[in-house]
A and B are shown apart, each in its own frame.
Chain A
Amino acid sequence: MFILQVGTLSKSVNLALSSLKDWMSSRKAKLPIAAFPSTAEVFPEPLGLVLIISSWNLPFGLSLEPVIGAIAAGNAVVLKPSELAPASSSLLAKTIPTYLDKKAVKVIEGGVAIGEHLLCCKWDKIFFTGNARVGRIVMTAAANYLTPVTLELGGKCPAIFDSFSSSWDKEMVIKRVLGGKFGTCAGQACIAIDYILVQEGFAPTLLELLRNMTKKMFGENPRETQSMARIINKQHFLRLKNLLDDPSVQSSIVHGGGMDEDNLFIEPTILMNPPLKASIMTDEIFGPLLPIITLKKIEDSIEFINSRPKALAIYVFTKNETLKRRIISETSSGSVTFNDAIIQYAADTIPFGGVGESGFGRYHGKFSFDTFTHEKAILRRSLLTEFWFRFPPWNDFKLALTKSAYSFDYFGFLLVLLGLKKNS
């Protein structure tokens, strides 16, 4: 939890503080010679009053990370943290007014009704993290006011697992896979690994490696070791239980499956080839259930992924350079990470965001600043010089000059001017 919340937040603040002057300054734009002596620049200005709606799984990270960007960009901010994480929401509501300028940065707590009220107002930008269903509601409300939105949604993030020969490599990637699933809020993260794709020959080895490492990382009795998060609430617990209720899915469980409803705990669970039409393979899992799907060839993963909605992240564990290149050019996703998972969240030089069903817009690092900024184009012209042929009344001579000038045909322009070339 530290990585994804407190650690990355303090990194983001430090980056914003050290880079702010640079981010706030105008960027000069090049102009063609014909435009001399004009100058052009792009001036970043705040959008105004922005609404940030965050999610329950990383209640601090997903609230404050966009807030950092919005403030850096000079906006006034309203934050609506998720009501499903009441302790965090309440802490945010208490501390933000104490530390930040309460005239410009406010926290409004509440559930669906409050969210609906907020969406009826005219915002200059709405930044939403959550699921696609609510994402549609947010964008529809924004359309009334032509409010630009950023939607950070989810999806089924696949992990393609190629075969590895070295045991060092194997151990490393298995840890990363498990960290990226059970070790990330028990799989309740938009970028958590949702399912694994592996070549059928390697599947048994993979399964064994996963089971052994799971025991090592989470203990023989995971509920006792407190190394894994619990499910957020009863509703989601039952949703996950339902995914396993289907008998054909039940029979595919090869590890774990134990559930404790009173404590909202589900142990790390691995499944082997559940039916592709079952909900566990059509809906985003968002929990500690890890299906493994086997394929004849690892390259078949490309078609498998392409026949499904675009994910927020694709993870590929491989040393095969050709496969890497093919995944990049033949699939589409918010991002692609090779040989690790989740960690792209902590990198602030690459944008974080989705595409297609996983959302649009992006943030992190300077991209956070940009997402809450309007890049205003400014052209400064001199009153000293003029292209008099730009204006009516029109005639052939003017048209010939215009054609040359607008195609930057300086020589042709000269010819026309000297009467040596006519408009054809």
Chain B
Amino acid sequence: MAEDSETKKVFDAEAAGSLMKELRGTYASGKTRSYEWRVAQLKNVMKIVDDHEKDILDAIRADLSKPEQESYIAEISIVKSSCTRALGELNRWMKPEKVKTSITTFPSSAEIVSEPLGVVLIIGAWNFPLLLALDPAIGAIAAGNAVVLKPSELCPATSSLIAKLVGKYLDSSCIKVVEGSVAETSALLEQKWDKIFFTGSGRVGRIVMAAAAKHLTPVALELGGKCPVVVDSDINLPVAVRRIAGGKWASNNGQACIAPDYIITTKDFAPKLIDALKHELEAWYGKDPLESKDLAHIVNSNHFARLVKLLDDDKVSGKIIHGGQRDKANLKFAPTILLDVPEDSLVMNDEIFGPLLPILTVDKLEDSFDMITSRGKPLAAYLFTNNKKLKEKFVKTVSAGGLVINDTVLHFAEKTLPFGGVGESGIGSYHGKFSYEAFSHRKSVLYRGFAGDASARYPPYSDRKLKLLKALLSGSVVGVILALIGWS
């Protein structure tokens, strides 16, 4: 009836409970464990992205006004390559790993067997709404879990499209989408999951982990931080600037967890760097960036107001050296550069997550490394230099989720590298095999033989038994022989 179809059922605690009950039953049936099931689902994820590329790009544009090319590079192509890799490697990932055993457990053999964790919850973020829901899901499915996806409500078109396509193409007895915001997420978080994978802010990350703690649920938290870019002077400036600008403004207009947050460079080099940046920005977005179709919008008026507040901060007045234009009605914000803002200004305290780029100048670049980690370990840190010593010092002393030398953001696309944070920027990692492992329990299996047993292991105990045990445990074959023949 017309009325029924318009009444949307509220997803409350009871609904979450039934959902969980249903999924536990399906998981217990063993349906998600087979290689065939996993391959079929992964192939269908590929189909979703292949057959509905246009719908996806349209939805993302409706939500974020993100340029098509950005959506393609950052979302569609990465989901596709994750699927391809998982399909190609799954057989290998699923194989038990044989390991050596020592004389301590002789005679024995051992292996490590990967098994799914069970029923997992994936909470996506709004800035890459397709990617951050489907990419972790690919890992979860490859690992044989039942999955609930909660895409971000700040991207309603994409969230709704994901719900529709997942419902249509994937096995809905094992993979479900729950749409909604705080109330629905809270209802989900009350349930006992076998793993929760969360992408978002540190504030909500804490809420997720505290909820998980009630059930001893392990979590992966992909959070953010202020990702610094340290720029040396002896570099190929045009290339470097393109990569910095690309990582900043061609990544959802700075609204990305690994987008360069601020720059550190020497006082001498700053003018050159700023000129080069301004030049590149004009080539990309024209004289009036607000007119450009290649710049993503700010996601909503809350975040828009937040960014305006950063610029209106008294401490940064007079420091804006480029940009600053904005259009509230259309949520457009131009690339903006600030120079030498005070370290206690708002823009230098919180993660910017927008098109503002402060540049801090120092006398010696090495001095900046301590400044970086004193702000809390970021998700990524970038260095542009040709100086080998500087590179090595950076790698050794700057702690961050990941580091890139002479580029920005690109490590996100390398599937052989674990992607994740440390400290304030998060817990756990994923991509490629790391995604599979993030949703797996690696179970130790030890096979013991009957050939011989050291009676020394058992009571009644004696000194002689103790000697033998010492030798056995140290792995010393000679010691064992000596103890057995009663020597030493």
Residues of A whose CB lies within 8 Å of any CB of B are 2-3, 7-8, 10-11, 14, 29-31, 35, 40, 42-43, 45, 47-48, 124, 132, 135-136, 139-140, 142-144, 146, 148, 151, 153, 168-169, 172-173, 175-176, 178-179, 183, 217-219, 225, 227-228, 306, 324, 328-330, 332-340, 343-344, 346-352, 355-357, 359-362, 374-384, 386, 388, 390-394, 398-399, 402-403, 406-407
CA distance A349 to B105 in the complex (A): 11
CB of B375 closer than 8 Å to a CB of A: no
CB B190 to nearest CB in A, in angstroms, measures 15
Assuming A29-B414, A406-B73, is B460 touching A217 (CB within 8 A)?
A: yes
- Find B102's partner among A30, A339, A349, A394 (CB 8 Å cutoff): A349
Docked pose: A139 CA to B77 CA in angstroms: 37
| Contact across chains for A340 and B448 when beta carbons are under 8 A apart | yes
Chain B residues with Cβ below 8 Å from A3 are 457, 469, 473
Which residues of B come within 8 Å of A, CB atoms?
Answer: 28, 30, 33, 67-70, 72-73, 77, 80-81, 84, 99-102, 104-105, 108, 110-113, 115, 117-118, 194, 202, 205-206, 209-210, 212-214, 216, 218, 221, 223, 235-236, 239-240, 242, 245-246, 250, 283-285, 292, 294, 384, 386, 391, 395, 399-407, 410-411, 413-414, 416-419, 422-424, 426-429, 441-450, 453, 455, 457-461, 466, 469-470, 472-475
- Among residues of B, the one whose C-beta sits closest to the C-beta of A12 is B473
Residue of B nearest to A399 (CB): B69
Check if B450 sits within 8 Å of A175, measured CB to CB. Answer: no
Besides A35-B414, A225-B460, A336-B444, 10 new A-B residue pairs in contact (Cβ under 8 A), listed by A number: A40-B416, A146-B427, A324-B447, A338-B446, A355-B443, A376-B401, A377-B418, A391-B250, A392-B67, A393-B292
Q: Determine chain A's interface SS by DSSP, over half rule.
A: mixed
Across the interface, name the chain A residue whose C-beta is closest to B110.
Answer: A350
Give complex CA distance A378, B380 in Å: 10
* B105 proximity list for chain A (CB < 8 A): 343-344, 346-347
Output the nearest chain A residue to B407 by Cβ-Cβ distance: A381
Contact B386 A383 (CB under 8 A): yes
In the complex, chain B residues whose CB is within 8 Å of the CB of A10: 473-474
Distance (Å) between the CB of A211 and the closest chain B CB?
16
Q: Which residues of B contact A399 (CB under 8 A)?
A: 68-69, 72
Count how many pairs of residues, one from A and one from B, have CB atoms less than 8 Å apart in the complex: 284
Please give the distance in Å from B196's CB to the nearest CB on chain A: 12
Contact B404 A179 (CB under 8 A): no
A73 → chain B closest CB, angstroms: 13
Known contacts A227-B459, A356-B194, A380-B405; A336/B445 CB under 8 A = yes
Given the contacts A225-B460, A379-B402, A391-B246, A350 and B213 also touching, CB distance less than 8 Å: no
User: How far, in Å, is A30 (CB) from chain B's closest CB?
Assistant: 5
Interface centre among A124, A379, A402 (most CB of B within 10 A): A379
- Cβ–Cβ contact A360 & B236, under 8 A: no
Pairs A–B under 8 Å by Cβ, sample size 12: A10-B473, A45-B399, A333-B443, A339-B448, A351-B444, A356-B194, A377-B411, A380-B404, A383-B236, A383-B239, A391-B242, A393-B294
Of B104, B206, B221, most buried by chain A (CB within 10 Å of CB) is B104
- Is A337 in contact with B216, judged by CB distance below 8 angstroms? no
Q: Which residues of A contact B84 (CB under 8 A)?
A: 407
